[in-house]
Amino acid sequence: MKLKSYENLHETFLVIVFITLAGGFQDAYSYLMRGRVFANAQTGNIVLLFKNIVDLNFKESIAYLIPVLSFALGVYLAVRFEDAIEKRVLHWRQYVIGFEIIIMILVAMIPKSLDNLANALLSFSCAMQVYSFKKIHGLNFATTMCIGNLRSATENLSKYHITKQEVYLENAKKYYTVILIFGLGAALGYLTSKGLGIKSILIAAGLLAISFFILFLEEHGQA
């Protein structure tokens, strides 16, 4: 079923499924294969950053500072990108997904000795994704982290028990489902990283490519 406007195609659940799977995958991949640094969970990186600063372990501090700064840069440039790019052949969000796919391919070719570079690229990519895809049918979601989704899910569940309004229960189900999908993406990242090593990030690229293809079909289906 097509939506009325291309502007909210990125909110369709099918698109969010593959993007969120990729988000969970990237976090597992960066932690397991790239020096126990999180691509998405910048809160964890900041905690470990300041822990290493206190320990005067400045080399390790840099490893956690780089993804934090890259994430911030990714959000900043995604906002600028949205403002600058006019819709031509594709929508600006499709360009973002395409750029993410290119980043994943590059990361797959970066050796372990350059983990800091790989993590910087992954955090930059995740930041662009978290800015570009942040709603499902009007609800605010995060496709690369869980804390906000968990808060919103439980808030809606509590409101349902207070008001008995079904809309709150449906909202809670959507949020909990996205959290589950993220977890499944992380599990997939864990399983494939063990077998494929640093090349496993190409699976995340494939998941993003599916989202890109869905948007592409929808766009031309409305023409």
pLDDT for 88 equals 58
Arithmetic mean of pLDDT over the chain: 84
pLDDT for 141 equals 79
Tens-place pLDDT, residues 183-212: 999 999 999 988 899 999 999 999 999 988
Tens-place pLDDT, residues 101-150: 999 999 999 999 999 999 999 999 888 888 888 777 677 777 777 788 88
**Rounded distance, CA 75 to CA 123, Å?**
10
pLDDT for 93 equals 78
Tens-place pLDDT, residues 58-70: 888 998 999 999 9
What does the block give as tokens for 161? Answer: 């028990």
More confident residue, 20 or 83: 20
